[in-house]
Structures are given as structure tokens and as C-alpha cells.
Amino acid sequence: MLSIKRVPTVVSNYQKEETGEAAAAGGCGRNCLKSCCIQDARLPLYAFKRGEKVGGKELPLLGCKKHPVDFLDSLVLGEWEDRMQRGLFRYDVTTCETKVIPGKYGFIAQLNEGRHLKKRPTEFRVDKVLQPFDENKFNFTKVGQEEVLFQLEASNDGEAQFFPNVPIDVENSPSFVAINVSPIEYGHVLLIPQIFECLPQRIDHASFLLALQMAAEARNPYFRLGYNSLGAFATINHLHFQAYYLALPFPIEKAPTKKIAKLSGGVKISKLLNYPVRGLVFEGGHSLEGLANVVSEACICLQLNNIPYNILISDCGRQIFLLPQCYAEKQALGEVSAELLETQVNPAVWEISGHLVLKREKDYEEASEANACRLLAEVSLSEERFQESHCSCFSSHCIG
Ligand SMILES: [Zn+2]
């Protein structure tokens, strides 16, 4: 079994060893999301307008244009800032230094020393993309209610709705938006689909559609969602997406592409060109649902083939990057240079997209395009394996 000691980043203030303290009266004393504490809990609920065919228009024509009231956007940021005021984050991300690395890609480097503190080693199996949910490991039902910002769902009556204070209907499998207590940017949140279903970290159609709907509903081009599979630097095996605001283009979004297929539903599939990590780009289609289905099929195929991958959702849910990777595999096989390992940078979705979160001042000072490319080159599948991976998943329209 390939297994390495990893130092996962803490995403919740409750992600630590169980203290073994006796349960306090009125719950376990941690105000968590389990049956001990959930009965009387209330949270805001945002219900977005269900994804119809957007007036029959092709999605690309809609653009990320500003809406008069971008309610979801304001809700995420308002609630996030409230949690910052309440001191729930482990450090102040707004003081982290960021710079654009000179060069053709425009990699963005951030010095984030706080993210790495108070680490605890965890055995994490990195050679299996699909692993069952393990109730005994940290999962999002163990976070404190104060870390949850609101519930998110599709509206039943065709209009977006907001309820500031509603009970949590555990039976109805609500999806939650929560803070990441180790943010890497402003507004860093987690989307946890159907939290009480305790789904393992794997893509399914409905959850992926929810992520696209959140991106579309936020209507803010700076807001991107990301996903890391197991084996591609997910640190928690409980289904979740990450999201944050970055007021810069990600280098991957600027990379040239070559079209390899256009599907009957209008979805265009391209491959990245001249980018250090090989990957596919999915765009267009007649509905968000159609686009979500194509991408989730591809993800499910990668999962079944045990190929770890990362996803970046850009352009308000209309552009999706799918990046199979093999860094953890190389790491386990001892094929990654000591120099790269020393940086302890885990190449997850943000790093692969070109936003490098560096843990040591030295690496930040010395950050260069060459260094970034060296790291990302280790992440990428070889041309041969990349072809294999997407041919097995898109055999019907595989073009060399
Ligand atoms: Zn509790």
C-alpha cells in the first residue's frame, strides 16, 4: 500500500484529535452539526433559481455580466467577513503577501506561513481515488455551527429566495456553505453538498451541478470553485468543493487551447496547449446541466480508472478545467526531487491553476517562473498517459 505521512491543512477549528471530554449538557459542548447539537439550530437559507435553459441562448453568450443584485455574492462575503470579525480564522489572510511572478504565464505567488502551523500528521492513503467514507475520521458534520455560513439549494418556485433564519432539515439533506478556517484568499469557503449524506470525496452528477450552479449564481468572474480528488491533495474524504475570490486571471485561464471535440449537446472539449500541466477544458452547451453532465461523466471515468484529478470552475460556471495528475504517486515512489519536497507545497487545484501558496519565505523570495514550471511539470501526466486517460474516458471522440 502506498501511503505517506502527510500534513493536511486544517480546514475547520474542530479538525483535531478528539479531546475525550464528557458531553456537556445541551449537546456535546461544541455546538456541532450532529444529533447532539443540531435540533434547535437555525441557519440562513439561499435558494437559487433552478437552472432552466437560460432563455434558449447558448451559455457563452450570457457572460459574467453584473446583475443589479448579486445576492449570493454579497451573502458569501458578508457572512465570511462576519466570521472574520468573530476571529474564527486561524490567521488573517488579508495580510498575506502576494505577487505576480514575472514571465509569460503570470503565476501568482502567495506567502502563507500561517496555513502550515499546528499541523498534525495523518495517515492518508494516496493511491486510491475512491475510498469509503470513514465516520471516525474528521468530516464536516464535526464542524461548529458558527463555521457554517448558510444552506444552499435550488428554489422550488422558480425564483431565487432568501430566508435569514430557518431550521436545519437534516432529513432533507441540505447542502452547506462553510468557511475554510485556513483561507488562501478572501472569501475562501467550502461547498459541502448534502452534508448529512456523508458522501465520500468523489464527483457525482448532482453535486457537480450544484457547484456549477453556485458559480453561475454568484455572477462574479473573480469567484472560482475548485475540487481536489483523493490522491490529488484532497485532505478530507467528505465531499466538498472549495471556492474563493481572486481579482486576477489564473494563468491556466489564459493558456491557449486546441479544440478536440464538440458534443451533440453543444459542449466543446479542448486541451490545454503550452501549459506545464496537461488538461482538458469544457465549455459551452445549451444548459448548465448539460455541461455539468459531460464534465461529471469524465470525472466519474477518471475515478473508476483510479486517476487522481483536480477541477477548476471558472467564468461563472461556464468554463471547467479538468486536470488529471500524478504528483502524489511520484512522491510515494520517491521520484520527486528533495528540493521540491522541501518546499512542502502540495500541488492541488489552486497551485495547478497558477496560484502558488508558498509556506516558506525563502521560496516566496526566490519564486520564479522556472521554479513554478518545475513543480507543475511533476504534477502533469506524461503525454502518453494523458492521451490514455482521456481516450479511455472519451473514446467516442478521441482525436490525437
Ligand atoms: Zn455536538
> Ligand 1: distance of its center to the CA of 29 in Å?
6
Å from CA of 37 to ligand 1 middle: 4
Give the whole-angstrom CA distance, residue 359 versus residue 344: 7
| Per-residue pLDDT at 19 | 46
The Å distance, Cα 28 to ligand 1 centre, comes to: 4
pLDDT for residue 71: 86
| Predicted local confidence at residue 318, as pLDDT | 94
pTM: 0.89
> What does the block give as the cell for 154?
435550488
What is the distance in A from the centroid of ligand 1 to the CA of 292? Answer: 35
Mean of the per-residue pLDDT values for the chain? 87
- Burial (0-12, 13-18, 19+ Cβ within 10 Å), 106: middle
pLDDT bracket for residue 4 (50, 70, 90): very low
Q: Cell 485561464 belongs to which residue? A: 253
Confidence bin at 27 (pLDDT 50/70/90): confident
Residue 59 has pLDDT above 60, yes or no: no
Q: Starting at the edge strand that comes first in sequence, how are the strands of the sheet with 280-284 ordered? A: 161-167, 42-48, 148-154, 175-179, 189-192, 241-245, 223-228, 309-314, 319-324, 280-284, 267-272, 257-262
Catalytic residues: 240
What is the pLDDT at residue 126? 81
pLDDT tens for each residue of 301-319: 999 999 999 999 999 999 9
Mapping DSSP onto H, E and C, the string for the chain reads: CCEEEECCCCCCCCCCCCCCCCCCCCCCCCCCCCHHHHCCCEEEEEEECCCCCHHHCCHHHHCCCCCCCCHHHHHHHHHHHHHHHCCCCCCCHHHCCEEECCCCCCCEEEECCHHHCCCCCEEEECCCCCCCCCCCCCCHHHCCHHHEEEEEEECCCCCCEEEEEEECCHHHCCEEEEECCCCCCCCCEEEECCHHHCCCCCCCHHHHHHHHHHHHHHCCCCEEEEEECCCCCCCCCCCCEEEEECCCCCHHHHCCEEEEEECCCCEEEEEECCCCCCCEEEEECCCHHHHHHHHHHHHHHHHHCCCCEEEEEEHHHCEEEEEEECHHHHHHCCCCCHHHHHCCCCCCHHHHHCEEEECCHHHHHCCCHHHHHHHHHHHECCHHHHHHHHHHHCHHHCCC
Interval between CA 12 and ligand 1 midpoint (Å): 15
Strand order of the β-sheet with 98-100 is 98-100, 108-111, 355-358
Q: How far is the CA of 18 from the centre of ligand 1 (A)?
A: 12
Helices 383-393 and 288-304, packing angle to 10 deg: 120
Q: Using an 8 Å Cβ cutoff, are 27 and 355 in contact?
A: no
Nearest residue to 124 (alpha-carbon basis) of 140, 114, 142, 138 = 138
Strands 3-6 and 42-48: unpaired
**The C-alpha cell that represents 88 in the structure block:** 474564527
Mean pLDDT across 259-276:
94
Going from the Cα of 13 to the center of ligand 1, the distance in angstroms, rounded, reads: 14
Spacing, Cα 73 to ligand 1 middle (Å): 30
Which one, of 372, 369, 360, 386, lies nearest residue 111 by Cα?
360
Distance 177 CA to ligand 1 centre (A): 19
**How many whole angstroms separate alpha carbon 224 and alpha carbon 51?**
19
Q: Specify the pLDDT at position 69.
A: 57
Model pLDDT for residues 318-360, shown as the tens digit of each residue: 999 999 999 999 999 999 999 899 888 889 999 999 999 998 9
Share of the chain above pLDDT 90, in %: 66
Taking 80 as the threshold, does the pLDDT of residue 121 lie above it? no
* pLDDT tier for residue 388 given thresholds of 50, 70 and 90: confident
Residue 38 C-alpha to ligand 1 middle, in angstroms? 7
Structural contact between residues 150 and 41, judged by C-beta atoms closer than 8 angstroms: no
Average pLDDT of 112-127? 67
Distance CA 127, CA 306 (A): 8
Q: Which residue matches cell numbers 468554463?
A: 319
Distance from Cα 144 to the centre of ligand 1, integer Å: 8
pLDDT bin (cut points 50, 70, 90) of residue 8 is low
Give the residue with greater pLDDT, 250 vs 69. Answer: 250
Higher pLDDT, 21 or 197: 197
Backbone phi, then psi, for 373, in 5-degree steps? -65, -35
Mean pLDDT of 76-82: 93
Distance 36 CA to ligand 1 centre (A): 4
| Per-residue model confidence as pLDDT tens digits over 270-290 | 999 999 999 999 999 999 999
Percent of the residues in the chain that have a pLDDT greater than 70, as a whole number: 86
What CATH class is the domain 41-397?
Answer: alpha beta
Band of residue 248 on the pLDDT scale cut at 50, 70, 90: very high
Q: How far is the CA of 27 from the centre of ligand 1 (A)?
A: 5
Cα→Cα distances 245→94, 233, 248, 294, 295, Å: 12, 20, 9, 26, 23
Cell numbers given for 158: 422558480
CA of 190 to the centre of ligand 1 (A): 20
What pLDDT, on a 0 to 100 scale, did the predictor assign at position 2?
41
Ranges 19-23, 166-170, 222-226, most confident:
222-226
252 close to 312: Cβ distance less than 8 angstroms = yes
